[in-house]
Amino acid sequence: MESIASNLAAIREQIASACRKAGRRDDEVTLIAVSKTKSAAAIREAWDAGQRVFGESYVQEFLEKQQDPLLSSLPLSWHFIGHLQSNKVRQVAGKVAMVHGIDKVSTAEELSRRAVQHDLQIDYLLEVNVSRESSKYGLDPSSLIQAAEECFLMPNITLRGLMTIAAPDPDQARREFAELREALEKLRCAAPEPASLTELSMGMSQDFEEAILEGATMIRIGTAIFGWR
């Protein structure tokens, strides 16, 4: 098996080349290394290879890793990318740079409530189910604007953009990424502060090049860095 360091180097090359193809600068795309199910030692290896931003999906596992002695003293930037249930919100509030998977107005409400309670400002993304697969989380694209309008009014949380998980087929994925980009453009027109809506979290190991071509600002890569789960 390739090492985490060499996997990271290869991914960074591919990101740079996709950015060139898209006519974008490679600092426009943040690589989130998705470390769910992987050990603190593996995360440490990625850190030693220069990776700074990590994504976790499961609350308990995330909290354990954050406190692991191998990692607890490092200024890692954690993103919570999993589906976040309302009753788990208080456990991640204040511990992550961004919450990606908010797909209900009621969960945003809880995030806001906890942010106010602890005097925090929390950045988050709304998850959109662009592939409209019933097995997936995410707001239906047709209800996005209405949901976001409610979210804009909530104190101490800032909507920074949109997140999605695309269909497995790369061509279809690319169309879905384009749809998410268009959804963000529409949302900006409805937003009281459009300038804060800058993020498109889309693209994983199988489809991050397509995502970069469609404007991804954050790609979430697990398998291609850490190996199979």
For the bound state, the minimum distance from the C-beta of residue 222 to ligand PLP, rounded and expressed in Å, comes to 3
For the bound state, the minimum distance from the C-beta of residue 158 to ligand PLP, rounded and expressed in Å, comes to 20
Question: How many residues are listed for the chain in this entry?
Answer: 229
| Per-residue DSSP letter, 140 | -
- Interacting residue with ligand PLP among 34, 115, 130, 197 (CB under 6 A): 34
- Interacting residue with ligand PLP among 115, 204, 216, 218 (CB under 6 A): 204
Closer CB to ligand PLP, 37 or 91, in the complex:
37
By the 8 A CB rule, do 169 and 206 touch? no
81 lines the binding site for ligand PLP (CB under 6 A) = yes
Stretch that binds ligand PLP, among 18-26, 61-69, 137-145, 217-225 (CB under 6 A): 217-225
205 lines the binding site for ligand PLP (CB under 6 A) = yes
Closer CB to ligand PLP, 158 or 205, in the complex:
205
For the bound state, the minimum distance from the C-beta of residue 206 to ligand PLP, rounded and expressed in Å, comes to 6
36 lines the binding site for ligand PLP (CB under 6 A) = yes
By the 8 A CB rule, do 21 and 213 touch? yes
Closest CA to 91 of 75, 127, 67: 67
138 lines the binding site for ligand PLP (CB under 6 A) = no
For residue 84, CA distances in Å to 26, 45, 68, 92, 107 come to 30, 27, 22, 9, 8
Q: Positive or negative CA dihedral for 216, 220, 226, 227?
A: negative
76 lines the binding site for ligand PLP (CB under 6 A) = no
Instruction: Map the footprint of ligand PLP across residues 155-174, applying CB under 6 A.
Output: 165
By the 8 A CB rule, do 79 and 62 touch? no
For the bound state, the minimum distance from the C-beta of residue 168 to ligand PLP, rounded and expressed in Å, comes to 10
- Give the Cα separation of 107 and 147 in Å (integer): 11
- Give the Cα separation of 212 and 35 in Å (integer): 21
For the bound state, the minimum distance from the C-beta of residue 37 to ligand PLP, rounded and expressed in Å, comes to 9
- Give the Cα separation of 82 and 72 in Å (integer): 21
Would you tell me which residues interact with ligand PLP (CB under 6 A)? 34, 36, 57, 81-82, 165, 204-206, 220-224
